[in-house]
Each structure stands twice: as C-alpha cells, then as structure tokens.
Amino acid sequence: MNGRRLFSVPARRAAIAPFLWMLLFFLLPFGFVLKISLSQTVMAQPPYLPVFDPAEGIAALKAAIAALSPENFKLLASDHFYVLSYLRSVVVALISTSILLAVGYPIAYGMSRLPARWQPIAMILVIVPFWTSFLIRVYAWINILQHDGILNNVLMALHLVSAPVVWLSTDAAMYIGIVYSYLPFMILPLYATLAKMDPALLEASADLGGSRLTTFWLVTVPLSLPGIGAGALLCFIPIVGEFVIPDLLAGSTSPMIGQTLWLEFFTNRDWPVASAIAVVLLVLLLAPLLINERVQRRQLEELR
C-alpha cells in the first residue's frame, strides 16, 4: 500500500468533521428556528403551530408543511418598531466598530513596536479582562457611571463639571461599555498582522524619501488591512446582536434588535416572531462576511 492511499482515508475523514460540526450545531438548529419562524403563535405548549410529529404519518407531515406561512416576516417588514430596531443595531455596531478601530489600532501598533521581551506582557494585559465574567464587568461599569460613581467624583474633583453628569441609561454609557468589552477583539487581530510586518519594507520607504506619515499611510495601513477586516468583523457581528450592554447601560427607550428578540421570546412568548427576528438578523450578518471575502479575494488576485 503506497503512502498516498494510506493517508487518503484518514484525510477524508478529517475533512468530513467540520461539515458534520456545521450540520449538527448550525444547520440543524437553524432549520428548527426557520420552521418556528414560519409557524403561528398559539397559547399552548409549545406556543406555536404546526408541530411536526413523525408518529402521525406522512399525511400529517404534509399538512403541517402546508400550514407554514411567511406572515411573521411580513410583520417585521411592515412594523416600524422592528425596522427601527434593526437600523439602530446596525448604526450602533458601525459607530462602535469605528471607535474600536480608532482606539485599538494605536494600541496594537504600539504593542508591535515594543521590544520582543515586552510584547508577551502587553498581550497578557490585553487578555486579562477575559479572566473576569463579562456580566460582572458590565455591572462594574454601572457602579462607575452612576450618579455618585467614580467617574463623576473624579470629574468634579478636577473641576471639569460643576454637577454630577447623567451617564446611565444613555447612549454614551452604552458605547463606553461596548468599547471596553470588545476592545481586545480589535487589538488582537491587528497586533497579529502588524507584528508580522517586514521591517525592511518600512526601511525601504524611508530610503526612498518617504516621511513617517507617508510610510504609515502607504505601507503600514495597506499591509494591516487583513487585521482591520478581521477585527471589524469580530466586533461588528456580535455588537449587532448585543443584548446585555444596551439593556443594562442604555435602557430600553430605543431598543436594539437583541433586546427586541428577548422581549418577544420571554415577555410576549411569541416564539414565531422571535425566530423570524433571529433569521433576518442572521441573513443581515452574512452581508459583511461576504463583503470581507470578496475584498480578500480581490487582494489575492492583485498580489498574483
């Protein structure tokens, strides 16, 4: 038996594993959610109809499939409450991702310029917040931003304000919490890209008369675009569906789509509408992934 034949079977089995994982933990649950989104709400257990029961036979299964309806998706498109929730989520995610990039890029750039012995320490300092529960960190910001919290005490001690500022239940508090919570997700891919950059390219730009600013914009930034794209996706996608931070820090006056989904599922017990919200959210989040894939493919073609 030759080597190619010996290793072909294990290699094929290993290639099947990711597809099985996607099938069991993504496509199959998504199929359940999609089916519920096409159902109708009823006061029962489970709170929707029709319910597929293989024991009732093929005829009952065909009748259940015929009873499915896209009415919940029509409701999402016609009701301004849901449309505004989606729009607010996208806007908040775009603004938050822009702030994260503006804050995270200088930090990642500085980390990549540190001596080699200090870079692991800087990496640990970035990862340290993950050692604490996410919910505890958000609640800590409630104590910091409250009326008599640390932030107001510091601002008044420095005579920057004459009276305590209202931070909680505002968009400012929400953006502070989002930037703090997601900053490592922006820094780490940027640092990984910047640390691998060849210093000879920067030296070549300097030898050709390029200033530091010119070298940064024409050499460093283009070479770090993969890290920018990865960091933006890692932040933008979960921020769109964020629930905890907006609910605790921004209140519920203009909810994001994660809060709306929680409201429909747990308060209104309208599982079909909640499932439809989740399906539309997933479809919307496919757009940045497809855009990023197209950009990377174009960059590879240009390099060839």
pLDDT tens string 248-264: 998 777 899 999 999 99
* pLDDT for 84: 94
**Percent helix / strand / coil, the chain, rounded to 5:** 75, 0, 20
User: For all residues of the chain together, what is the average pLDDT?
Assistant: 88
Rounded to whole angstroms, how far apart are CA atoms 246 and 242? 7
What average pLDDT does this structure show over 7-35? 80
The one-character DSSP state at 56 is G
The lowest-confidence range among 47-61, 156-170, 240-254, 266-280 is 47-61
Report the length, in residues, of the chain: 304
Q: Give the whole-angstrom CA distance, residue 248 versus residue 185.
A: 21
pLDDT mean over 169-191: 95
d(CA 83, CA 150): 37
- Give residue 57's pLDDT: 75
Position of tokens 């870079």?
119
CA–CA separation, 22 and 253 (whole Å): 37
List beta partners, residue 40. 49
Q: Are 272 and 40 in contact (CB under 8 A)?
A: yes
187 alpha-carbon distance from chain centroid: 14
Is the confidence at residue 3, as pLDDT, over 60?
A: no
Fold exhibited by the domain 76-303: MetI-like fold (1.10.3720)
- In the block, tokens 């496919």 appear at 286
Tell me the residue type at 48. Answer: Y
Q: Is the pLDDT of residue 2 over 60?
A: no
Proportion of the chain above pLDDT 90, given as a percent: 58
CB 178 within 8 A of CB 93: no
CA atoms of 203 and 156, how far apart (whole Å): 48
Distance CA 281, CA 258 (A): 9
- pLDDT over 70 (residue 9): no
Asked whether residue 93 carries a pLDDT value surpassing 80, the answer given is yes
pLDDT tens-digit profile of 117-148? 999 999 999 998 888 889 999 999 999 999 89
A 10 A CB-CB count for 243 gives 15
Q: Is the pLDDT of residue 10 over 70?
A: no
269 Rama sector, left if φ>0, alpha if ψ -120 to 50, beta otherwise: left
Q: Of the segments 49-53, 56-60, 214-218, 277-281, which one has the largest average pLDDT value?
A: 277-281
DSSP-based three-state secondary structure for 243: coil
48 versus 100: the higher-pLDDT residue is: 100
Token duo for residue 176: 């502070």
The pLDDT assigned to 24 comes to: 86
| pLDDT, position 11 | 64
17: number of Cβ within 10 Å: 9
pLDDT at 92: 96
Quote the pLDDT of residue 19.
82
- d(CA 137, CA 153) in angstroms, rounded, equals 20
Average pLDDT for 148-163: 91
At 228, the amino acid letter reads I
- Mean pLDDT over 225-230 rounds to 92
Residue 38 has pLDDT above 90, yes or no: yes
Whether the pLDDT of residue 216 is over 70: the answer is: yes
Q: Where in the chain is the domain with CATH 1.10.3720.10?
A: 76-303
